[in-house]
Amino acid sequence: MVHNFFYAFCRWSDQTILAKLVRTSVWAFPSVETVHLLALGILGGIVLLLNLRLLGVSILRDEPLPSIARSTWRALLISLGVMLVSGYALFSSEAMKDFFNWGFRLKMASLLTAIIFTLTIHRRFVLTNDENLRPGLSRVVAIVSLLLWLTVGLGGRSIGYITGYTH
């Protein structure tokens, strides 16, 4: 059922005006990809900063972790939103090709997991005062977060190198 829904979604996305614009315009794909990568840099920097603090690295040590998390939260959400919108535009231009690409499937599965983890468990930990954090558990949360986002990136990078998917 999920397979059929995803296939229908890819077919629909592939035929949208947005997909046709990104596919046929000389400037659309590179422009959207530039925006996507800039948002990725912002999101990645924030995720790295927060996770390094959870791991005990003394970055911005004079500033409490919850303060850093609160002050970067809006930028994290905006960059995530920009990445999702620009990512959909990039995806739509080759949706049917991506349907058969296991690198794309890995990226989407890990992206969904990373977003849920970041907005729930990870957020709870970074909003806890440093003195109330349990170091072992904080390190596990940071490592899981870093591995999830690394998998998103590796899945994304692999899309261009994977030729297809066999059932």
> pLDDT tens digit string along 107-156?
999 999 999 999 999 999 999 876 777 778 999 999 999 999 999 999 99
In a domain, 167, yes or no: no
Give dist(CA 85, CA 73) in Å, integer.
Answer: 18
In a domain, 44, yes or no: yes
Give dist(CA 112, CA 75) in Å, integer.
Answer: 19
**Residues 132 and 78 sit within 8 Å (Cβ to Cβ):** no
In a domain, 166, yes or no: no
User: Among the residues of 15-162, which ranges form H helices?
Assistant: 17-24, 28-54, 65-92, 95-99, 102-117, 123-126, 135-158
In a domain, 60, yes or no: yes
Could you tell me the residue range of the domain that residue 119 belongs to? 2-161
Whole-structure pTM value: 0.90
**Residue 166: pLDDT over 80:** no
- Each residue's pLDDT tens digit, 71-92: 999 999 999 999 999 999 999 9
In a domain, 23, yes or no: yes
In a domain, 68, yes or no: yes
Domain total in the chain? 1
